Amino acid sequence: MQKILITGASGFVGGFLVEEALKKDLEVYAAVRKSSNLQYLTDNRIKFIYIDFEDTDALKSIFLEHRFEYIVHNAGLTKTPIKEQYFKVNADYLENMVEALIESKTVPSKFTFISSLAAYGPAEHTHKGLVTEDSIPHPVTNYGRSKLQAERYLKSKQEINYTIIRPTAVYGPREKDLFTVYDLINKGIEMTVGLTDQKLTFIYVRDLVSVILDATLDCRKNVAYFVSDLEIYSSTSYNELIRKSLGRKRSFKLRLPIPLVKTLGFIAEKAGKLTGSYPALNIEKVNELEAKSWVCDTKNLVNDLNFKPRYKLKDGLEESIAWYKEHNWLK
């Protein structure tokens, strides 16, 4: 069996990624922290590794011991009030891993990095209203900027056969950020931001992990893929699909102007500092909500990997919301 190391294995995407790798009969090593919640990693075939991304010597020892055929670097930080933390976790930790692989001469057949559409930013900053590989990146968040920095570093290392995956908004069972939207609509409030609808793109987590593994096992190297379900949705139609999936006939529709949302995000973030938490509505999130379009080019995803999503948004939302109800996240 071929060995695969999956970092960030205890996270939302990571848990599904481990499941998919097991289905493909890979020998799965799940990189987690001592404090990680392992409630969704119960298969006895999983081998756990505790990794300190700041200790390059320890990383070298792990790579020398196991000599992984494939590595999927999925670990990352998506939400923090501290700018420097994004770059430490999303960029510096990747650099440490790559340097350890090169110095220990244990470079895998494929190193797959899970980046984000946020690294390139929204489509309205592009010439054709479509984010493509040739677009000049214009990230609007520190999260996106840190992912872009990591991508540029990885591309500079000729010793590494890499694949970069840039998913758009990822949703599915166990996801916590978009869940706040479902919860609000379930309570009867259907909120949109801005005077005009956003153009949105999504990818269901089960489709995403299939793409990640297919791209990792594929012979192509030094390639990057934007990943969505190949469709474009308006923010209004997104809310409507959620409402229908929840079984609600009506809701109170509320459209908030951007300046008000910015103010609310600022207040929420300040309040979060006092309570020691970081709210779902924060300044970074407002920058994403302000963007007019998150449309990306998926042609090479279809051409190279023959990608056909199993889940359109309606199907994925229905399956997700059924899970949230079954596990009492929604009542």
- Per-residue pLDDT tens digits for 16-60: 999 999 999 999 999 998 889 999 999 999 999 999 999 999 999
How far apart CA 163 and CA 219 sit, in angstroms, is: 10
Each domain of the chain, given as residue ranges in start order, spans 3-174+201-230+293-311
Token pair 């309606």: residue: 314
Which pLDDT band, with edges at 50, 70 and 90, does 196 fall under? Answer: confident
Q: What are phi and psi of 226, to 5 degrees?
A: -80, 140
What confidence tens digit (pLDDT) does each residue in 241-290 have? 999 999 998 888 989 888 888 888 888 888 877 777 888 888 888 889 88
Q: If you average pLDDT over every residue of the chain, what do you get?
A: 95
DSSP H helices, the chain, are: 12-23, 56-66, 83-87, 93-103, 142-155, 179-186, 205-217, 235-246, 258-275, 283-290, 299-305, 313-326
Question: H-helix or E-strand containing 163?
Answer: strand 162-167
**CA neighbours closer than 13 Å in the CB half-sphere of residue 203:** 30
- Predicted pLDDT at 270: 81
The three-state secondary structure class of 226 is: strand
One-letter amino acid at 122 equals P
How far apart CA 173 and CA 297 sit, in angstroms, is: 26
- Predicted pLDDT at 128: 85
How far apart CA 221 and CA 160 sit, in angstroms, is: 9
Structure tokens at 78: 């998506």
70, burial (CB in 10 Å: exposed 0-12, middle 13-18, buried 19+): buried
Q: Which of 144-148, 152-156, 186-190, 272-276 has the lowest mean pLDDT?
A: 272-276
> What is the assigned CATH class of domain 3-174+201-230+293-311?
alpha beta
- Predicted pLDDT at 278: 83
- Predicted pLDDT at 137: 97
3, burial (CB in 10 Å: exposed 0-12, middle 13-18, buried 19+): middle
Residue closest to 5 by CA, chosen among 55, 54, 58, 50: 50
pTM of the model: 0.95
Q: What percent of the chain has pLDDT over 90?
A: 82
How far apart CA 196 and CA 85 sit, in angstroms, is: 33
What confidence tens digit (pLDDT) does each residue in 199-248 have? 999 999 999 999 999 999 999 999 999 999 999 999 999 999 999 999 99
- Predicted pLDDT at 279: 83
For residues 329 and 179, is the Cβ–Cβ distance under 8 A? yes
What confidence tens digit (pLDDT) does each residue in 69-122 have? 999 999 999 999 899 999 999 999 999 999 999 999 999 999 999 999 999 999
Q: What percent of the chain has pLDDT over 70?
A: 100
How far apart CA 246 and CA 261 sit, in angstroms, is: 25
- Angle between helix 179-186 and 313-326 (nearest 10): 70
